[in-house]
Protein backbone atom coordinates (compact mmCIF):
# COMPACT_ATOMS: atom_id res chain seq x y z
CA UNK A 1 0.00 0.00 0.00
CA UNK A 2 1.24 3.46 -0.83
CA UNK A 3 0.65 6.90 0.55
CA UNK A 4 1.85 10.26 -0.72
CA UNK A 5 4.61 10.51 1.85
CA UNK A 6 5.75 6.87 1.60
CA UNK A 7 4.93 3.27 2.36
CA UNK A 8 2.43 2.58 5.11
CA UNK A 9 3.97 0.52 7.92
CA UNK A 10 1.99 -2.72 8.33
CA UNK A 11 4.11 -4.25 11.08
CA UNK A 12 6.61 -3.32 13.77
CA UNK A 13 9.77 -5.12 14.84
CA UNK A 14 10.17 -5.28 18.62
CA UNK A 15 13.80 -4.99 19.67
CA UNK A 16 12.93 -6.63 23.00
CA UNK A 17 14.04 -6.10 26.57
CA UNK A 18 17.73 -6.80 25.97
CA UNK A 19 20.04 -8.26 23.33
CA UNK A 20 21.93 -10.35 25.90
CA UNK A 21 20.96 -14.02 25.59
CA UNK A 22 21.91 -14.74 29.20
CA UNK A 23 19.77 -11.94 30.55
CA UNK A 24 16.90 -12.98 28.27
CA UNK A 25 17.00 -16.53 29.63
CA UNK A 26 17.08 -15.28 33.21
CA UNK A 27 14.17 -12.88 32.68
CA UNK A 28 12.20 -15.58 30.83
CA UNK A 29 12.52 -18.03 33.72
CA UNK A 30 11.73 -15.40 36.36
CA UNK A 31 8.71 -13.97 34.56
CA UNK A 32 7.31 -17.39 33.64
CA UNK A 33 7.70 -18.67 37.21
CA UNK A 34 6.22 -15.50 38.63
CA UNK A 35 3.38 -15.59 36.13
CA UNK A 36 2.38 -19.23 36.66
CA UNK A 37 2.58 -19.11 40.46
CA UNK A 38 1.04 -15.74 41.27
CA UNK A 39 -1.48 -15.19 38.46
CA UNK A 40 -3.92 -17.71 39.99
CA UNK A 41 -3.85 -15.53 43.10
CA UNK A 42 -6.03 -12.97 41.37
CA UNK A 43 -8.60 -15.62 40.46
CA UNK A 44 -8.41 -17.04 43.99
CA UNK A 45 -9.27 -13.60 45.41
CA UNK A 46 -12.27 -13.32 43.08
CA UNK A 47 -13.46 -16.84 43.95
CA UNK A 48 -13.03 -16.30 47.69
CA UNK A 49 -14.97 -13.04 47.70
CA UNK A 50 -17.71 -14.53 45.53
CA UNK A 51 -18.19 -17.65 47.68
CA UNK A 52 -17.89 -16.10 51.15
CA UNK A 53 -21.03 -14.16 52.25
CA UNK A 54 -18.92 -12.54 54.96
CA UNK A 55 -16.99 -10.64 52.29
CA UNK A 56 -20.01 -8.80 50.89
CA UNK A 57 -18.90 -5.30 51.92
CA UNK A 58 -18.20 -2.78 49.11
CA UNK A 59 -14.46 -2.91 49.90
CA UNK A 60 -14.31 -6.57 48.86
CA UNK A 61 -16.51 -5.96 45.83
CA UNK A 62 -13.96 -3.40 44.65
CA UNK A 63 -11.08 -5.72 45.58
CA UNK A 64 -12.59 -8.45 43.37
CA UNK A 65 -12.81 -5.95 40.52
CA UNK A 66 -9.18 -4.97 41.11
CA UNK A 67 -8.14 -8.63 40.94
CA UNK A 68 -10.08 -9.03 37.69
CA UNK A 69 -8.43 -5.94 36.20
CA UNK A 70 -4.98 -7.17 37.28
CA UNK A 71 -5.57 -10.62 35.79
CA UNK A 72 -6.78 -9.08 32.52
CA UNK A 73 -3.92 -6.55 32.47
CA UNK A 74 -1.33 -9.30 32.92
CA UNK A 75 -2.53 -11.01 29.73
CA UNK A 76 -1.74 -7.99 27.53
CA UNK A 77 2.06 -8.02 27.57
CA UNK A 78 3.48 -10.98 29.52
CA UNK A 79 2.37 -13.90 27.26
CA UNK A 80 3.58 -12.13 24.12
CA UNK A 81 6.81 -11.17 25.84
CA UNK A 82 7.47 -14.78 26.89
CA UNK A 83 6.77 -16.02 23.35
CA UNK A 84 9.14 -13.42 21.88
CA UNK A 85 11.97 -14.63 24.11
CA UNK A 86 12.08 -17.89 22.14
CA UNK A 87 11.74 -16.39 18.65
CA UNK A 88 14.48 -14.76 16.61
CA UNK A 89 12.37 -12.09 14.91
CA UNK A 90 9.86 -10.33 17.12
CA UNK A 91 7.15 -8.91 14.85
CA UNK A 92 3.78 -7.42 15.73
CA UNK A 93 1.31 -6.15 13.15
CA UNK A 94 0.26 -2.51 13.08
CA UNK A 95 -3.28 -3.48 14.12
CA UNK A 96 -1.95 -5.78 16.82
CA UNK A 97 0.22 -2.97 18.12
CA UNK A 98 -2.72 -0.56 18.28
CA UNK A 99 -4.86 -3.22 19.99
CA UNK A 100 -2.15 -3.87 22.58
CA UNK A 101 -1.77 -0.16 23.22
CA UNK A 102 -5.56 0.28 23.54
CA UNK A 103 -6.07 -2.50 26.09
CA UNK A 104 -2.97 -1.47 28.04
CA UNK A 105 -4.38 2.01 28.65
CA UNK A 106 -8.01 0.87 28.87
CA UNK A 107 -7.32 -1.53 31.74
CA UNK A 108 -4.53 0.59 33.25
CA UNK A 109 -6.71 3.70 33.25
CA UNK A 110 -9.61 1.73 34.73
CA UNK A 111 -7.38 0.36 37.48
CA UNK A 112 -6.11 3.83 38.36
CA UNK A 113 -9.70 5.08 38.66
CA UNK A 114 -10.62 2.01 40.72
CA UNK A 115 -7.95 2.96 43.27
CA UNK A 116 -9.62 6.38 43.46
CA UNK A 117 -12.98 4.68 44.05
CA UNK A 118 -11.44 2.47 46.78
CA UNK A 119 -10.00 5.56 48.47
CA UNK A 120 -13.46 7.18 48.39
CA UNK A 121 -14.94 4.01 49.90
CA UNK A 122 -12.43 4.05 52.75
CA UNK A 123 -13.00 7.75 53.36
CA UNK A 124 -16.76 7.26 53.73
CA UNK A 125 -16.32 4.14 55.88
CA UNK A 126 -13.89 5.79 58.29
CA UNK A 127 -14.82 9.47 58.24
CA UNK A 128 -18.60 9.17 57.65
CA UNK A 129 -19.50 5.76 59.13
CA UNK A 130 -23.14 6.64 59.83
CA UNK A 131 -23.70 7.47 56.15
CA UNK A 132 -21.71 4.53 54.77
CA UNK A 133 -24.57 2.11 54.07
CA UNK A 134 -26.56 4.90 52.40
CA UNK A 135 -23.76 6.31 50.26
CA UNK A 136 -22.10 3.00 49.31
CA UNK A 137 -25.26 1.06 48.50
CA UNK A 138 -25.13 -1.68 45.82
CA UNK A 139 -26.49 0.59 43.09
CA UNK A 140 -23.84 3.22 43.85
CA UNK A 141 -21.09 0.56 43.80
CA UNK A 142 -22.16 -0.74 40.40
CA UNK A 143 -22.42 2.83 39.09
CA UNK A 144 -18.89 3.59 40.30
CA UNK A 145 -17.52 0.45 38.63
CA UNK A 146 -19.31 1.31 35.39
CA UNK A 147 -17.87 4.84 35.62
CA UNK A 148 -14.30 3.61 36.01
CA UNK A 149 -14.64 1.26 33.01
CA UNK A 150 -16.06 4.13 30.99
CA UNK A 151 -13.28 6.43 32.16
CA UNK A 152 -10.63 3.89 31.20
CA UNK A 153 -12.22 3.49 27.76
CA UNK A 154 -12.33 7.25 27.12
CA UNK A 155 -8.74 7.66 28.29
CA UNK A 156 -7.55 4.87 26.01
CA UNK A 157 -9.59 5.79 22.94
CA UNK A 158 -8.09 9.30 23.04
CA UNK A 159 -4.61 7.77 22.89
CA UNK A 160 -5.54 5.51 20.00
CA UNK A 161 -7.33 8.27 18.07
CA UNK A 162 -4.26 10.51 18.26
CA UNK A 163 -1.92 7.73 17.08
CA UNK A 164 -4.18 6.62 14.23
CA UNK A 165 -3.87 10.11 12.73
CA UNK A 166 -0.08 9.83 12.52
CA UNK A 167 1.62 8.65 9.31
CA UNK A 168 4.08 5.75 9.66
CA UNK A 169 6.32 5.32 6.64
CA UNK A 170 9.43 3.78 8.23
CA UNK A 171 11.54 2.90 10.14
CA UNK A 172 9.47 0.30 11.98
CA UNK A 173 11.71 -0.86 14.85
CA UNK A 174 10.22 -0.34 18.32
CA UNK A 175 12.88 -0.14 21.01
CA UNK A 176 10.83 -2.05 23.57
CA UNK A 177 9.24 -5.45 24.23
CA UNK A 178 5.68 -4.19 23.70
CA UNK A 179 3.78 -1.35 22.03
CA UNK A 180 3.31 1.81 24.05
CA UNK A 181 2.71 5.45 23.27
CA UNK A 182 6.28 6.87 23.71
CA UNK A 183 7.96 4.36 21.40
CA UNK A 184 5.22 4.30 18.74
CA UNK A 185 5.00 8.08 18.46
CA UNK A 186 8.75 8.36 17.86
CA UNK A 187 8.39 6.30 14.67
CA UNK A 188 5.87 8.66 13.05
CA UNK A 189 7.25 10.44 9.99
CA UNK A 190 5.94 13.86 11.00
CA UNK A 191 6.40 16.44 13.74
CA UNK A 192 4.80 14.95 16.86
CA UNK A 193 5.35 17.77 19.36
CA UNK A 194 1.65 18.63 19.69
CA UNK A 195 0.65 14.96 19.93
CA UNK A 196 3.28 14.32 22.60
CA UNK A 197 2.00 17.31 24.55
CA UNK A 198 -1.57 16.00 24.36
CA UNK A 199 -0.40 12.55 25.43
CA UNK A 200 1.45 13.97 28.43
CA UNK A 201 -1.69 15.81 29.48
CA UNK A 202 -3.91 12.78 28.93
CA UNK A 203 -1.71 10.16 30.60
CA UNK A 204 0.94 11.99 32.58
CA UNK A 205 -1.18 14.72 34.15
CA UNK A 206 -4.02 12.33 34.97
CA UNK A 207 -1.58 9.89 36.57
CA UNK A 208 0.11 12.60 38.62
CA UNK A 209 -3.16 14.18 39.80
CA UNK A 210 -4.61 10.80 40.79
CA UNK A 211 -1.41 9.95 42.67
CA UNK A 212 -1.32 13.22 44.62
CA UNK A 213 -5.07 13.15 45.26
CA UNK A 214 -4.90 9.59 46.59
CA UNK A 215 -2.00 10.37 48.91
CA UNK A 216 -3.85 13.43 50.22
CA UNK A 217 -7.04 11.43 50.82
CA UNK A 218 -5.26 8.71 52.77
CA UNK A 219 -3.37 11.33 54.77
CA UNK A 220 -6.74 12.82 55.77
CA UNK A 221 -8.08 9.36 56.68
CA UNK A 222 -5.03 8.51 58.80
CA UNK A 223 -5.34 11.85 60.61
CA UNK A 224 -9.01 11.17 61.33
CA UNK A 225 -8.37 7.76 62.91
CA UNK A 226 -5.80 8.99 65.43
CA UNK A 227 -8.47 9.29 68.11
CA UNK A 228 -10.20 5.99 67.32
CA UNK A 229 -10.11 2.87 69.49
CA UNK A 230 -6.97 0.75 69.36
CA UNK A 231 -8.61 -2.07 67.36
CA UNK A 232 -10.38 0.26 64.92
CA UNK A 233 -7.27 2.36 64.48
CA UNK A 234 -5.08 -0.69 63.79
CA UNK A 235 -7.50 -2.05 61.18
CA UNK A 236 -7.86 1.33 59.44
CA UNK A 237 -4.09 1.91 59.38
CA UNK A 238 -3.47 -1.59 57.99
CA UNK A 239 -6.04 -1.11 55.19
CA UNK A 240 -4.77 2.35 54.30
CA UNK A 241 -1.14 1.19 54.33
CA UNK A 242 -1.99 -1.61 51.90
CA UNK A 243 -3.69 0.83 49.54
CA UNK A 244 -0.80 3.31 49.77
CA UNK A 245 1.71 0.57 48.86
CA UNK A 246 -0.35 -0.31 45.77
CA UNK A 247 -0.63 3.38 44.85
CA UNK A 248 3.15 3.83 44.86
CA UNK A 249 3.70 0.60 42.92
CA UNK A 250 1.18 1.54 40.23
CA UNK A 251 1.52 5.29 39.85
CA UNK A 252 5.28 5.57 40.42
CA UNK A 253 6.26 3.88 37.12
CA UNK A 254 3.38 5.61 35.31
CA UNK A 255 4.61 9.02 36.43
CA UNK A 256 8.16 8.17 35.34
CA UNK A 257 7.03 7.05 31.87
CA UNK A 258 4.26 9.50 30.95
CA UNK A 259 4.94 12.82 32.71
CA UNK A 260 8.06 13.73 30.74
CA UNK A 261 8.95 14.26 27.07
CA UNK A 262 9.05 11.01 25.12
CA UNK A 263 12.81 10.57 25.10
CA UNK A 264 14.64 7.32 25.80
CA UNK A 265 16.15 6.81 29.26
CA UNK A 266 18.30 3.84 30.33
CA UNK A 267 15.77 2.77 32.98
CA UNK A 268 12.73 2.86 30.66
CA UNK A 269 12.61 -0.86 29.86
CA UNK A 270 13.13 -1.95 33.47
CA UNK A 271 10.37 0.40 34.67
CA UNK A 272 8.09 -0.80 31.85
CA UNK A 273 8.76 -4.44 32.78
CA UNK A 274 7.73 -3.74 36.36
CA UNK A 275 4.71 -1.68 35.30
CA UNK A 276 3.27 -4.13 32.77
CA UNK A 277 4.35 -7.56 34.03
CA UNK A 278 5.41 -7.54 37.68
CA UNK A 279 2.96 -5.07 39.23
CA UNK A 280 -0.29 -6.80 38.14
CA UNK A 281 0.97 -10.01 39.73
CA UNK A 282 1.99 -8.34 43.02
CA UNK A 283 -1.45 -7.09 44.01
CA UNK A 284 -2.87 -10.45 45.13
CA UNK A 285 0.18 -11.05 47.29
CA UNK A 286 -0.03 -7.60 48.88
CA UNK A 287 -3.75 -7.81 49.60
CA UNK A 288 -3.85 -11.40 50.84
CA UNK A 289 -0.83 -10.96 53.11
CA UNK A 290 -2.18 -7.77 54.68
CA UNK A 291 -5.92 -8.52 54.85
CA UNK A 292 -6.86 -10.83 57.72
CA UNK A 293 -10.47 -11.31 56.53
CA UNK A 294 -9.40 -12.45 53.06
CA UNK A 295 -6.77 -14.81 54.49
CA UNK A 296 -9.29 -16.30 56.93
CA UNK A 297 -11.82 -16.79 54.13
CA UNK A 298 -9.20 -18.48 51.94
CA UNK A 299 -8.28 -20.87 54.76
CA UNK A 300 -11.95 -21.68 55.31
CA UNK A 301 -12.41 -22.25 51.58
CA UNK A 302 -9.46 -24.66 51.46
CA UNK A 303 -10.75 -26.57 54.51
CA UNK A 304 -14.23 -26.89 52.98
CA UNK A 305 -12.84 -28.14 49.65
CA UNK A 306 -10.45 -30.58 51.37
CA UNK A 307 -13.17 -32.06 53.60
For the chain, the average pLDDT equals: 85
Domain with residue 240: its CATH number is 1.20.1070.10
Is residue 5 a part of any domain in this protein? no
Question: How does residue 93 score in pLDDT terms, banded at 50, 70 and 90?
Answer: very high
Is residue 288 a part of any domain in this protein? yes
Is residue 4 a part of any domain in this protein? no
Is residue 2 a part of any domain in this protein? no
pLDDT in tens, 101-118: 999 999 999 999 999 999
Neighbours of 294 (CB within 10 A): 21
Mean pLDDT of 182-202: 88
Measured CA distances, 71 to 140, 226, 250, 284 (Å): 24, 36, 15, 10
Lowest-pLDDT choice from 80-89, 194-203, 286-295: 286-295
pLDDT number for residue 3: 44
pLDDT number for residue 306: 66
pLDDT in tens, 118-149: 999 988 988 888 989 999 999 999 999 999 99
Query: How many domains is the chain partitioned into structurally?
Result: 1
Is residue 253 a part of any domain in this protein? yes
Mean pLDDT of 37-44: 82
- pTM for the whole structure: 0.89
- For the beta sheet containing 173-174, the strands, ordered from the edge strand earlier in sequence to the opposite edge, are 91-93, 11-14, 173-174
Reply yes or no on whether the pLDDT at 4 is more than 50: no
Reply yes or no on whether the pLDDT at 206 is more than 70: yes
Is residue 214 a part of any domain in this protein? yes
Is residue 164 a part of any domain in this protein? yes
Reply yes or no on whether the pLDDT at 98 is more than 90: yes
Is residue 268 a part of any domain in this protein? yes
Burial environment of residue 221 by CB neighbours within 10 A (0 to 12, 13 to 18, 19 or more) = buried
pLDDT number for residue 278: 81
Range of the domain at 109: 10-306
Contact 239, 122 (CB under 8 A): yes
pLDDT number for residue 231: 67
Question: How does residue 1 score in pLDDT terms, banded at 50, 70 and 90?
Answer: very low
pLDDT number for residue 276: 85
Amino acid sequence: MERENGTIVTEFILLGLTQSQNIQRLVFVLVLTFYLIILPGNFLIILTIKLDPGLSAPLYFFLANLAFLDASYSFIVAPRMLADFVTKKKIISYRGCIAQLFFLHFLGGGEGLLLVVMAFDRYIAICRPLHYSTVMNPRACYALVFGLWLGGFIHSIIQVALILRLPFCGPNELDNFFCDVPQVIKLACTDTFVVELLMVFNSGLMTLLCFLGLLASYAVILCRVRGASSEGKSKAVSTCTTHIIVIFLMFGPGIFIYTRPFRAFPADKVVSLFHTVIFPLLNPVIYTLRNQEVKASMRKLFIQRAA
